[in-house]
Amino acid sequence: MGDIAGIMTVASVWQEALAYIQGKVPKQVYDTWFTPVHLERIEDSTAQIAVPNKFFGDWLSQHYGPLLEEAVSTARGGGETAVSFVVFNRLAAKPIDPTVIEQARAVAGSKPKRGIQLNPKYTFKNFVVGAGNQFAHAACMAVAEQPAKAYNPLFIYGGVGLGKTHLLNAIANHVAERTDLRIAYLTTEQFTNEVINSIRYDKMMDLRKRYRHIDMLMIDDIQFLAGKERTQEEFFHTFNSLYEAHKQIVLSSDRFPKDMPDIEERLRSRFEWGLIADLQPPDVETRIAILRKKSEDEGVRLPEDVIQFLSTTMKSNIRELEGSLVRLGAYASLTGQVITLDMARNVLRDLIGDKKKIVSLEDIQEVVSTWFHVRIADLKSRRRSKTLVHPRQIAMYLCRELTDASYPEIGRHFGGKDHTTIIHACRQIGKARDTDSSLQATLDGLKDKILRG
Protein backbone atom coordinates (compact mmCIF):
# COMPACT_ATOMS: atom_id res chain seq x y z
CA MET A 1 0.00 0.00 0.00
CA GLY A 2 2.75 2.36 1.07
CA ASP A 3 4.66 1.43 -2.09
CA ILE A 4 1.73 2.15 -4.35
CA ALA A 5 1.15 5.47 -2.67
CA GLY A 6 4.87 6.18 -3.07
CA ILE A 7 4.89 5.34 -6.78
CA MET A 8 1.85 7.44 -7.40
CA THR A 9 3.41 10.38 -5.67
CA VAL A 10 6.59 10.05 -7.68
CA ALA A 11 4.60 9.70 -10.90
CA SER A 12 2.47 12.72 -10.22
CA VAL A 13 5.45 14.83 -9.15
CA TRP A 14 7.10 13.89 -12.41
CA GLN A 15 4.05 14.77 -14.45
CA GLU A 16 3.92 18.19 -12.91
CA ALA A 17 7.64 18.67 -13.28
CA LEU A 18 7.38 17.78 -16.97
CA ALA A 19 4.58 20.27 -17.46
CA TYR A 20 6.76 22.90 -15.82
CA ILE A 21 9.72 22.04 -18.06
CA GLN A 22 7.54 22.07 -21.18
CA GLY A 23 6.71 25.64 -20.44
CA LYS A 24 10.39 26.58 -20.22
CA VAL A 25 12.15 24.90 -23.14
CA PRO A 26 11.49 24.61 -26.90
CA LYS A 27 9.59 21.50 -27.99
CA GLN A 28 12.59 19.99 -29.73
CA VAL A 29 14.69 20.20 -26.60
CA TYR A 30 11.86 18.77 -24.57
CA ASP A 31 11.42 15.83 -26.93
CA THR A 32 15.14 15.09 -27.16
CA TRP A 33 16.12 15.44 -23.54
CA PHE A 34 13.10 15.02 -21.33
CA THR A 35 10.91 12.40 -22.94
CA PRO A 36 13.58 9.65 -22.67
CA VAL A 37 14.00 10.14 -18.89
CA HIS A 38 11.82 9.67 -15.85
CA LEU A 39 11.78 10.31 -12.17
CA GLU A 40 12.85 7.12 -10.45
CA ARG A 41 12.43 8.06 -6.80
CA ILE A 42 12.74 10.85 -4.31
CA GLU A 43 14.81 10.20 -1.26
CA ASP A 44 15.26 12.86 1.39
CA SER A 45 15.54 15.89 -0.76
CA THR A 46 17.19 14.27 -3.76
CA ALA A 47 15.27 13.31 -6.86
CA GLN A 48 16.78 10.47 -8.85
CA ILE A 49 16.29 10.87 -12.56
CA ALA A 50 16.69 7.72 -14.64
CA VAL A 51 18.55 8.29 -17.91
CA PRO A 52 19.35 5.92 -20.81
CA ASN A 53 23.11 6.14 -20.40
CA LYS A 54 25.87 7.93 -18.59
CA PHE A 55 26.54 10.46 -21.33
CA PHE A 56 22.93 11.43 -21.51
CA GLY A 57 23.01 11.97 -17.76
CA ASP A 58 26.19 14.03 -17.93
CA TRP A 59 24.80 16.22 -20.63
CA LEU A 60 21.46 16.67 -18.98
CA SER A 61 23.08 17.46 -15.67
CA GLN A 62 25.36 20.04 -17.25
CA HIS A 63 22.73 21.78 -19.35
CA TYR A 64 19.45 21.27 -17.56
CA GLY A 65 20.40 20.24 -14.03
CA PRO A 66 19.18 23.51 -12.47
CA LEU A 67 15.96 23.45 -14.52
CA LEU A 68 15.24 19.90 -13.38
CA GLU A 69 15.81 20.89 -9.77
CA GLU A 70 13.54 23.86 -10.14
CA ALA A 71 10.84 21.76 -11.84
CA VAL A 72 10.86 18.98 -9.25
CA SER A 73 10.99 21.43 -6.34
CA THR A 74 8.02 23.33 -7.75
CA ALA A 75 6.10 20.12 -8.39
CA ARG A 76 6.66 19.09 -4.78
CA GLY A 77 5.24 22.36 -3.62
CA GLY A 78 8.46 24.14 -2.79
CA GLY A 79 11.51 23.20 -0.71
CA GLU A 80 14.89 22.59 -2.24
CA THR A 81 15.28 19.39 -4.24
CA ALA A 82 18.59 18.27 -5.68
CA VAL A 83 18.74 15.89 -8.63
CA SER A 84 21.03 12.94 -9.26
CA PHE A 85 21.07 10.58 -12.21
CA VAL A 86 20.91 6.82 -12.56
CA VAL A 87 21.30 4.79 -15.72
CA PHE A 88 18.12 2.79 -16.08
CA ASN A 89 19.22 -0.04 -18.29
CA ARG A 90 21.72 -1.29 -15.78
CA LEU A 91 20.94 -3.83 -13.15
CA ALA A 92 22.90 -2.21 -10.41
CA ALA A 93 22.50 1.36 -11.51
CA LYS A 94 24.48 3.77 -9.44
CA PRO A 95 23.92 7.50 -9.15
CA ILE A 96 26.14 9.54 -11.43
CA ASP A 97 28.06 11.86 -9.23
CA PRO A 98 29.93 14.47 -11.24
CA THR A 99 32.71 14.56 -8.69
CA VAL A 100 33.61 10.95 -9.30
CA ILE A 101 33.29 10.92 -13.07
CA GLU A 102 36.83 12.16 -13.39
CA GLN A 103 39.41 10.34 -11.36
CA ALA A 104 38.81 11.16 -7.73
CA ARG A 105 42.08 11.28 -5.92
CA ALA A 106 41.82 10.71 -2.26
CA VAL A 107 42.86 13.08 0.42
CA ALA A 108 44.05 11.95 3.79
CA GLY A 109 42.10 13.85 6.36
CA SER A 110 42.62 14.06 10.07
CA LYS A 111 40.48 10.95 10.50
CA PRO A 112 41.97 8.98 7.67
CA LYS A 113 39.27 6.42 7.03
CA ARG A 114 36.46 8.95 7.08
CA GLY A 115 38.47 11.59 5.28
CA ILE A 116 39.38 9.60 2.19
CA GLN A 117 37.58 10.10 -1.05
CA LEU A 118 37.97 6.91 -2.95
CA ASN A 119 36.63 6.46 -6.38
CA PRO A 120 33.81 3.96 -5.90
CA LYS A 121 33.97 3.05 -9.59
CA TYR A 122 37.39 1.50 -9.13
CA THR A 123 36.71 -1.93 -7.70
CA PHE A 124 38.07 -5.42 -8.26
CA LYS A 125 34.75 -6.37 -9.75
CA ASN A 126 35.12 -4.03 -12.67
CA PHE A 127 38.81 -4.60 -13.21
CA VAL A 128 39.27 -6.80 -16.25
CA VAL A 129 42.01 -9.35 -15.68
CA GLY A 130 44.27 -10.37 -18.56
CA ALA A 131 47.79 -11.60 -19.14
CA GLY A 132 49.42 -8.19 -18.54
CA ASN A 133 47.83 -7.43 -15.19
CA GLN A 134 47.09 -10.85 -13.71
CA PHE A 135 50.00 -10.77 -11.33
CA ALA A 136 49.39 -7.25 -10.04
CA HIS A 137 45.70 -8.01 -9.67
CA ALA A 138 46.37 -11.17 -7.65
CA ALA A 139 48.86 -9.35 -5.44
CA CYS A 140 46.38 -6.54 -4.78
CA MET A 141 43.62 -9.02 -3.99
CA ALA A 142 45.87 -10.80 -1.52
CA VAL A 143 46.70 -7.53 0.22
CA ALA A 144 43.06 -6.46 0.26
CA GLU A 145 42.06 -9.75 1.84
CA GLN A 146 44.85 -9.78 4.38
CA PRO A 147 46.34 -6.35 4.92
CA ALA A 148 49.85 -6.40 6.34
CA LYS A 149 49.96 -10.19 6.20
CA ALA A 150 50.42 -10.96 2.54
CA TYR A 151 53.00 -8.59 1.08
CA ASN A 152 54.42 -5.50 2.68
CA PRO A 153 55.05 -3.10 1.10
CA LEU A 154 53.23 -3.84 -2.10
CA PHE A 155 54.76 -1.87 -4.93
CA ILE A 156 52.74 -1.70 -8.16
CA TYR A 157 54.44 -0.31 -11.19
CA GLY A 158 53.35 0.13 -14.76
CA GLY A 159 53.10 2.60 -17.61
CA VAL A 160 50.65 5.43 -17.97
CA GLY A 161 46.95 4.56 -17.80
CA LEU A 162 47.37 0.85 -17.12
CA GLY A 163 45.33 0.66 -13.94
CA LYS A 164 47.58 1.55 -10.99
CA THR A 165 45.14 4.01 -9.51
CA HIS A 166 42.27 1.65 -10.21
CA LEU A 167 43.94 -1.18 -8.33
CA LEU A 168 44.92 0.99 -5.36
CA ASN A 169 41.35 2.22 -5.07
CA ALA A 170 40.09 -1.34 -5.40
CA ILE A 171 42.19 -2.42 -2.43
CA ALA A 172 41.04 0.55 -0.37
CA ASN A 173 37.37 0.09 -1.31
CA HIS A 174 37.56 -3.60 -0.49
CA VAL A 175 39.19 -2.99 2.88
CA ALA A 176 36.96 -0.03 3.75
CA GLU A 177 33.84 -2.08 3.05
CA ARG A 178 34.87 -5.01 5.21
CA THR A 179 36.91 -3.64 8.05
CA ASP A 180 37.32 -0.64 10.31
CA LEU A 181 40.94 -0.20 9.41
CA ARG A 182 42.01 3.40 9.09
CA ILE A 183 43.14 3.96 5.54
CA ALA A 184 45.05 6.89 4.14
CA TYR A 185 45.03 6.96 0.36
CA LEU A 186 46.66 9.90 -1.33
CA THR A 187 48.84 10.95 -4.18
CA THR A 188 52.47 11.80 -3.70
CA GLU A 189 51.60 15.36 -4.62
CA GLN A 190 49.14 15.53 -1.75
CA PHE A 191 51.64 14.05 0.65
CA THR A 192 54.23 16.58 -0.50
CA ASN A 193 51.78 19.43 0.01
CA GLU A 194 51.02 18.21 3.49
CA VAL A 195 54.70 18.16 4.32
CA ILE A 196 55.20 21.65 2.90
CA ASN A 197 52.24 23.02 4.85
CA SER A 198 53.33 21.33 8.03
CA ILE A 199 56.74 22.91 7.73
CA ARG A 200 55.22 26.28 6.96
CA TYR A 201 52.80 26.25 9.87
CA ASP A 202 55.10 24.43 12.22
CA LYS A 203 52.76 21.44 12.46
CA MET A 204 55.19 18.65 11.76
CA MET A 205 54.35 16.76 14.91
CA ASP A 206 50.66 16.73 13.98
CA LEU A 207 51.45 15.33 10.56
CA ARG A 208 53.63 12.60 12.01
CA LYS A 209 51.07 11.66 14.57
CA ARG A 210 48.37 11.49 11.95
CA TYR A 211 50.21 9.17 9.64
CA ARG A 212 51.61 7.01 12.35
CA HIS A 213 48.17 6.16 13.61
CA ILE A 214 46.76 4.70 10.48
CA ASP A 215 46.50 1.06 9.52
CA MET A 216 47.04 1.25 5.81
CA LEU A 217 48.99 3.83 3.86
CA MET A 218 48.50 3.97 0.11
CA ILE A 219 50.44 6.42 -2.00
CA ASP A 220 49.91 6.79 -5.71
CA ASP A 221 52.62 7.90 -8.16
CA ILE A 222 55.49 7.62 -5.71
CA GLN A 223 57.93 8.45 -8.54
CA PHE A 224 57.06 12.09 -7.88
CA LEU A 225 59.08 11.92 -4.67
CA ALA A 226 62.13 12.25 -6.90
CA GLY A 227 64.21 15.26 -6.03
CA LYS A 228 62.03 16.22 -3.02
CA GLU A 229 64.44 15.63 -0.19
CA ARG A 230 62.39 16.90 2.72
CA THR A 231 59.32 14.91 1.66
CA GLN A 232 61.46 11.82 1.17
CA GLU A 233 62.87 12.25 4.64
CA GLU A 234 59.40 12.51 6.14
CA PHE A 235 58.13 9.62 4.10
CA PHE A 236 61.09 7.53 5.20
CA HIS A 237 60.17 7.95 8.86
CA THR A 238 56.49 7.35 8.21
CA PHE A 239 57.34 4.23 6.26
CA ASN A 240 59.56 2.90 9.02
CA SER A 241 57.14 3.43 11.83
CA LEU A 242 54.24 1.90 9.92
CA TYR A 243 56.32 -1.00 8.71
CA GLU A 244 57.62 -1.74 12.17
CA ALA A 245 54.08 -1.63 13.53
CA HIS A 246 53.07 -4.19 10.87
CA LYS A 247 50.80 -1.82 9.02
CA GLN A 248 50.16 -2.25 5.32
CA ILE A 249 51.89 0.05 2.85
CA VAL A 250 50.91 0.12 -0.84
CA LEU A 251 52.73 2.24 -3.38
CA SER A 252 52.34 2.79 -7.07
CA SER A 253 54.80 4.16 -9.55
CA ASP A 254 55.31 4.44 -13.27
CA ARG A 255 58.75 2.94 -12.95
CA PHE A 256 60.72 0.29 -11.17
CA PRO A 257 62.47 1.37 -7.93
CA LYS A 258 65.91 1.03 -9.46
CA ASP A 259 64.94 3.43 -12.22
CA MET A 260 64.25 6.24 -9.76
CA PRO A 261 67.56 8.06 -9.70
CA ASP A 262 66.56 10.97 -7.51
CA ILE A 263 65.20 8.89 -4.70
CA GLU A 264 67.45 8.11 -1.79
CA GLU A 265 68.89 4.63 -1.78
CA ARG A 266 67.48 3.82 1.67
CA LEU A 267 63.97 4.49 0.37
CA ARG A 268 64.46 2.69 -2.91
CA SER A 269 65.67 -0.41 -1.15
CA ARG A 270 62.62 -0.31 1.15
CA PHE A 271 60.35 -0.26 -1.88
CA GLU A 272 61.83 -3.62 -2.78
CA TRP A 273 61.34 -5.23 0.63
CA GLY A 274 57.92 -6.64 -0.08
CA LEU A 275 56.46 -7.55 -3.42
CA ILE A 276 56.91 -5.67 -6.66
CA ALA A 277 54.19 -6.37 -9.19
CA ASP A 278 54.10 -4.91 -12.65
CA LEU A 279 51.30 -3.93 -15.00
CA GLN A 280 52.01 -4.58 -18.64
CA PRO A 281 50.03 -3.13 -21.55
CA PRO A 282 46.97 -5.27 -22.25
CA ASP A 283 47.00 -7.81 -25.06
CA VAL A 284 44.30 -7.63 -27.70
CA GLU A 285 41.98 -10.08 -25.92
CA THR A 286 42.10 -8.01 -22.75
CA ARG A 287 41.50 -4.81 -24.71
CA ILE A 288 38.41 -6.37 -26.25
CA ALA A 289 37.19 -7.61 -22.88
CA ILE A 290 37.68 -4.15 -21.37
CA LEU A 291 35.75 -2.51 -24.19
CA ARG A 292 32.90 -4.99 -23.87
CA LYS A 293 32.67 -4.54 -20.14
CA LYS A 294 32.89 -0.75 -20.18
CA SER A 295 30.39 -0.34 -22.99
CA GLU A 296 27.97 -2.59 -21.16
CA ASP A 297 28.44 -0.71 -17.91
CA GLU A 298 27.95 2.63 -19.60
CA GLY A 299 24.97 1.53 -21.64
CA VAL A 300 26.71 2.19 -24.97
CA ARG A 301 26.03 -0.19 -27.86
CA LEU A 302 29.31 -0.92 -29.61
CA PRO A 303 29.08 -3.02 -32.78
CA GLU A 304 31.61 -5.80 -33.18
CA ASP A 305 33.57 -4.09 -35.99
CA VAL A 306 33.99 -0.98 -33.83
CA ILE A 307 35.25 -3.10 -30.95
CA GLN A 308 37.79 -4.67 -33.29
CA PHE A 309 38.78 -1.28 -34.66
CA LEU A 310 39.29 0.30 -31.23
CA SER A 311 41.11 -2.66 -29.78
CA THR A 312 43.58 -2.78 -32.63
CA THR A 313 44.15 0.98 -32.76
CA MET A 314 44.48 1.84 -29.08
CA LYS A 315 47.15 -0.49 -27.90
CA SER A 316 49.19 0.78 -25.05
CA ASN A 317 46.94 2.70 -22.74
CA ILE A 318 43.65 1.67 -21.16
CA ARG A 319 42.71 5.23 -20.31
CA GLU A 320 42.89 6.04 -24.00
CA LEU A 321 40.73 3.04 -24.84
CA GLU A 322 38.20 4.17 -22.29
CA GLY A 323 38.44 7.78 -23.49
CA SER A 324 37.61 6.75 -27.03
CA LEU A 325 34.56 4.88 -25.82
CA VAL A 326 33.42 7.90 -23.81
CA ARG A 327 33.82 10.17 -26.82
CA LEU A 328 31.98 7.84 -29.12
CA GLY A 329 29.17 7.34 -26.64
CA ALA A 330 28.81 11.08 -26.10
CA TYR A 331 28.81 11.78 -29.83
CA ALA A 332 26.23 9.12 -30.57
CA SER A 333 24.05 10.25 -27.71
CA LEU A 334 24.17 13.93 -28.63
CA THR A 335 23.52 13.39 -32.31
CA GLY A 336 20.98 10.62 -31.76
CA GLN A 337 22.83 8.27 -34.13
CA VAL A 338 23.92 4.69 -33.64
CA ILE A 339 27.64 4.02 -33.46
CA THR A 340 29.19 2.73 -36.68
CA LEU A 341 32.71 2.07 -37.85
CA ASP A 342 32.67 5.20 -40.00
CA MET A 343 31.56 7.28 -37.08
CA ALA A 344 34.33 5.81 -34.91
CA ARG A 345 36.97 6.60 -37.56
CA ASN A 346 35.66 10.13 -37.87
CA VAL A 347 35.18 10.97 -34.23
CA LEU A 348 38.49 9.50 -33.14
CA ARG A 349 40.53 10.78 -36.05
CA ASP A 350 42.57 13.19 -33.99
CA LEU A 351 43.19 10.66 -31.22
CA ILE A 352 44.49 8.15 -33.69
CA GLY A 353 46.32 10.84 -35.65
CA ASP A 354 48.19 11.79 -32.48
CA LYS A 355 50.15 8.63 -32.69
CA LYS A 356 51.65 9.64 -35.97
CA LYS A 357 52.89 12.93 -34.60
CA ILE A 358 56.27 13.87 -36.03
CA VAL A 359 58.78 14.15 -33.26
CA SER A 360 62.17 15.78 -33.29
CA LEU A 361 65.39 14.50 -31.77
CA GLU A 362 65.29 17.50 -29.43
CA ASP A 363 61.81 16.51 -28.19
CA ILE A 364 63.14 13.09 -27.30
CA GLN A 365 66.21 14.43 -25.53
CA GLU A 366 64.07 16.79 -23.52
CA VAL A 367 61.58 14.14 -22.38
CA VAL A 368 64.34 11.65 -21.51
CA SER A 369 66.31 14.26 -19.57
CA THR A 370 63.23 15.22 -17.52
CA TRP A 371 62.30 11.61 -16.90
CA PHE A 372 65.74 10.64 -15.59
CA HIS A 373 66.51 14.00 -13.99
CA VAL A 374 69.67 14.52 -16.00
CA ARG A 375 70.69 17.55 -18.01
CA ILE A 376 70.45 17.51 -21.80
CA ALA A 377 74.10 18.56 -21.85
CA ASP A 378 74.93 15.39 -19.92
CA LEU A 379 73.05 13.26 -22.44
CA LYS A 380 75.24 14.78 -25.13
CA SER A 381 78.45 14.56 -23.13
CA ARG A 382 81.03 11.78 -23.10
CA ARG A 383 80.77 11.16 -19.37
CA ARG A 384 80.47 7.45 -18.72
CA SER A 385 78.86 7.27 -15.29
CA LYS A 386 76.16 4.62 -15.05
CA THR A 387 73.46 7.15 -14.23
CA LEU A 388 74.17 8.87 -17.54
CA VAL A 389 74.91 5.97 -19.86
CA HIS A 390 71.52 4.34 -19.38
CA PRO A 391 69.36 7.41 -20.12
CA ARG A 392 71.66 8.35 -22.99
CA GLN A 393 71.30 4.94 -24.62
CA ILE A 394 67.55 5.05 -24.13
CA ALA A 395 67.39 8.47 -25.76
CA MET A 396 69.44 7.21 -28.72
CA TYR A 397 67.24 4.16 -29.07
CA LEU A 398 64.07 6.25 -29.05
CA CYS A 399 65.52 8.67 -31.60
CA ARG A 400 66.00 5.75 -33.92
CA GLU A 401 62.59 4.24 -33.20
CA LEU A 402 60.46 7.35 -33.31
CA THR A 403 62.10 9.37 -36.08
CA ASP A 404 63.51 8.76 -39.54
CA ALA A 405 66.93 10.11 -38.53
CA SER A 406 69.96 8.09 -39.64
CA TYR A 407 72.57 6.79 -37.17
CA PRO A 408 75.12 9.50 -38.12
CA GLU A 409 72.48 12.19 -37.76
CA ILE A 410 71.54 10.95 -34.30
CA GLY A 411 75.24 10.84 -33.45
CA ARG A 412 75.58 14.51 -34.41
CA HIS A 413 72.73 15.40 -32.05
CA PHE A 414 74.49 13.66 -29.21
CA GLY A 415 77.59 15.81 -29.15
CA GLY A 416 79.11 14.47 -32.35
CA LYS A 417 79.28 10.77 -31.50
CA ASP A 418 80.24 8.17 -34.02
CA HIS A 419 77.41 6.26 -35.71
CA THR A 420 78.75 2.98 -34.29
CA THR A 421 78.06 4.29 -30.78
CA ILE A 422 74.43 4.83 -31.73
CA ILE A 423 74.14 1.40 -33.33
CA HIS A 424 75.61 -0.13 -30.18
CA ALA A 425 73.15 1.76 -27.95
CA CYS A 426 70.17 0.71 -30.08
CA ARG A 427 71.25 -2.92 -29.97
CA GLN A 428 71.82 -2.86 -26.22
CA ILE A 429 68.45 -1.36 -25.43
CA GLY A 430 66.64 -3.40 -28.08
CA LYS A 431 68.04 -6.60 -26.64
CA ALA A 432 67.44 -5.69 -23.02
CA ARG A 433 63.85 -4.64 -23.60
CA ASP A 434 62.90 -8.15 -24.66
CA THR A 435 63.66 -9.55 -21.25
CA ASP A 436 63.44 -6.58 -18.90
CA SER A 437 59.87 -5.64 -18.18
CA SER A 438 60.83 -2.58 -16.16
CA LEU A 439 62.74 -1.27 -19.16
CA GLN A 440 59.72 -1.97 -21.35
CA ALA A 441 57.53 0.04 -19.01
CA THR A 442 60.05 2.89 -18.99
CA LEU A 443 60.18 2.94 -22.80
CA ASP A 444 56.39 2.87 -23.05
CA GLY A 445 56.08 5.70 -20.56
CA LEU A 446 58.66 7.78 -22.41
CA LYS A 447 57.07 7.15 -25.78
CA ASP A 448 53.72 8.15 -24.44
CA LYS A 449 55.13 11.43 -23.15
CA ILE A 450 57.02 12.12 -26.37
CA LEU A 451 54.11 11.38 -28.67
CA ARG A 452 51.61 13.37 -26.66
CA GLY A 453 53.91 16.34 -26.34
Ligand X SMILES: Nc1ncnc2c1ncn2[C@@H]1O[C@H](COP(=O)(O)OP(=O)(O)OP(=O)(O)O)[C@@H](O)[C@H]1O
Binding site for ligand X (CB under 6 A): 103, 122, 127-128, 133, 158, 160-166, 221, 254, 290, 318-319, 322
Is position 415 annotated in a ligand binding site?
no
- Find the shortest distance in angstroms from Cβ 138 to ligand X: 13
Question: Of the two residues 128 and 314, which places its CB atom closer to ligand X in the complex?
Answer: 128
CA distance 432 to 63: 53
Cα–Cα distance list, 375 to 223, 254, 381 (Å): 18, 21, 10
Q: Which residue is nearest to ligand X (CB)?
A: 163
Is 313 marked as binding a ligand? no
Q: How far is the CB of 81 from ligand X (least distance, A)?
A: 31
Cβ distance 122 to 170 under 8 Å?
A: yes
With respect to ligand X, which residue has the nearer C-beta, 162 or 399? Answer: 162
| β-sheet bridge partners, residue 276 | 155
Of the two residues 105 and 392, which places its CB atom closer to ligand X in the complex? Answer: 105
Residue 113 CB, nearest approach to ligand X (Å): 22
Q: Residue 290 or 395: which CB sits closer to ligand X?
A: 290
Nearest to ligand X of 70, 254 (CB atom): 254
Residue 161 annotated in ligand binding:
yes
Q: Which is nearer to ligand X, 152 or 165 (CB)?
A: 165
Closest separation in Å from C-beta 289 to ligand X = 8
β-strand 95-96 against 82-87: which pairing, if any? Answer: antiparallel
164 appears as a binding residue in the annotation: yes
Q: Shortest approach of ligand X to residue 221 CB, angstroms?
A: 6
**Cβ closest to ligand X, residue 17 vs residue 222:** 222
Q: How far is the CB of 185 from ligand X (least distance, A)?
A: 13
Which burial class, exposed, middle or buried, applies to 72 when counting CB atoms under 10 A from its CB (0-12, 13-18, 19+)?
Answer: buried
Question: Shortest distance, CB of residue 307 to ligand X, whole angstroms?
Answer: 15
The rounded Cα 392 to chain-centroid distance in angstroms is 29
φ, ψ (nearest 5 deg) of residue 276: -110, 125
* Binding site listing: 161, 163-165
Show binding-site residues for ATP. 161, 163-165
